[in-house]
Structure 1
Amino acid sequence: MPDATEEVFFSYSRSDEALVLKIASALRRDGRHVWVDQIDIAKGARWDDEVEKALKASSCLLAILSPAAVASQNVMDEVSYALGEKKKVIPVLAKQCDIPFRLKRLQFVDFTGDYDRGYRELSAALDGGAAPPRRDDGVPPGASSRRTQQAVIGGAVVVVAAVAGYLVLGRPTPAPAPAPVVVAPPPPAVQPAPVVAKREPEPAPVAPPVQPAPVAPPPPAPPPVVAAAPPPAPVFVPPPAPAPMKQAVASDRQLTDFVHRYISTQNRSSPTDLVAFYADEVEYFNEKHATKAFILKDRLNFQRRWPEVDNRLAGPIDIDRSSGDGTAVLSYTIRYGVRSLERGDSKSGMARDELRVRPVDGQLLIVGQRQKILNAQAN
């Protein structure tokens, strides 16, 4: 279970806010406490005072790394403070960049490829469990293949040299027994499997050891070389990704449950949780290509204006699958009510909502939204 008392502080550049908001939203859904300046600084508060207060209160800092973040003095100052205070620091690679010297010796989480795998590794790191493989040489992902190839070639040369020497000198005499030939183990970054593969095409037949005889049989492959080969190192197998939805099209039950959960989240006045229902790009009312960051800002503004929301389903949910591409149009009527105690203002009425939803990576997400007010009144 996540540690609900641990405050996770996001240190990042504004150019990476889309990924930051996506990760923060997922962590909050998992029950973790996170702090993001765009969401958690109250309107009118001093930005630097709030950041300093949150940084001191946090027990873990996520350093979202990208070329812009590495060049940001604010991000590097926050990282230095967290390291100096002995806080947990987890580097998160958002975009390929030169990792700062002070972070090279720390385990990092890679989000430049598979998002789901990166999120699983981040959750494990926050729980203090297994972390991504350590890169002690400080080389960013994708830059170590050249060293691996050089190490494999070096290991192959050692084996070939040992076999050649054995063939030149001939088979050892019965007494005394020859000393085992010790083959130096390959460098730590190289697994021994390629070395064994080099010996498979040897033309000489491999015979079991025999007692010495007056007439020496054809020389077998030298047993000491085989005995000296180290056992294969265990291979890290990542946990399987969550199974996608088996259905290409969601069932009626899944679609109606989706609407009920969406309305319930609206009533909790939780913009961050509500944004999790949307795809990365949405036709959002009059916006043709709205991002999650845009939707989050819109929902935060609505919450500041109307802190209390009460939406209730007022009829059946109509489902239209005529598009044929897996998209379903969900139409329903709600009885809404909003109120602001601070302003002493409230409104209520009826509205017709329309959601276009589609399975994306095994999850139902909103790809389009419209609303028509049927009647409204000020209370």
Structure 2
Amino acid sequence: MRPVKRKLKSRKAATRRSPQKAPKRTKAASRKSQSKPPRKIAAVRPLPAQPEEILFRVEGKMSTFGGPHDLGMAANEDLALFSKADLQNPKYTYLFLPASPPGTSGLGRRLNPDQYYFACRWDYAATPKEFLRRALARVENPANGRAADARPVDWGPHPSTGRVADLSPGLAAALGLNTDDIVRITISARRAIPVKPTLTMKRVGHGSSNPHAKPVIKQFIQSPNHSCRNGARIEKIVLHCTEASLAGTIEEFQKSGGRQVSAHYVIDRNGDIYQMVSDTDRANHCMGTNESSIGIEHVGTETDSLATPQAAASAALIRWLLEQYHIPPTNIFGHDFTPGYCRPGGTSCPDKLFGATHDQQTIAAWVKANV
């Protein structure tokens, strides 16, 4: 048994010797460690912002051009940056009307005046045509700060005009610009991309985000009885009854003398929609509120109700207009009940097209049920 005990003692001794004792720290060393300041971490400096590369900029007087009633463009006049082949290109079809206006064959008069496009006097060596076709410009009204994106489509205006740019009627109206007002146009390197125009202003339409497709317009028949909105926003829709046939209404709206009346749209009993004034222009349909409203005529007599296809077409058009111009449904009125109308009670329009009684409550009920 003794050898065993010796072995055990030997193991215990080895066990006692195995731990290494940590060296004692002196008071001076401890104080030195405690007084050492924490290590400072250098702040990360942000990289300086890179200046935006401006490829084109111009500022000066402007005018408007393009669309069915731009009589300053020849009936067969085309565009410098686009050809008829682009009518089939899904990137560019939104710029044009579905069909050429009667008596025209050029792309200039086929431009959709409600879309955002413009023309400048380009130096194709600095800004080649193919670059411009893919570019998106920032168009600004320096006087009020409004701005929108727009696509270049043509070369112009002529230097003799003293102007630097021609804008679409829709773009000019959205920015609150009238002929010879000052406009600023900029194309930067990062905006040379093939995208549709978008408007950044609140409560101004003509954008491309409308979830409702505009109903088919059977024909655009220009009325001479229209004028500029003078920058006014479209805020109301006014519903009318023609109290005449389709042919009689169109004939009356095409007269440049006499009452000089018009409306933006005329909807026939079978649901066909005719447009006679561009949305961007003021029609003569509701005296006192023409600058801020869209007028829709419905073919019918004093005792008619809306025909079923006519009601469906009207509701579809109204839905599109509400979304396109950010109009609340409460701003849809019958002619006689429109706020601002200078002769309330002076007309029977819209008669009983929308219900059995002649009042705004009937109009509102029809809108709620159908739109």
- The structure whose Rg is larger is 2
Q: By percentage of residues, which structure has more helix? A: 1
Q: Same fold (TM over 0.5)?
A: no
TM-score under structure 1 length normalisation: 0.23
* TM-score when normalising by structure 2: 0.23
Structure number with higher strand proportion: 1
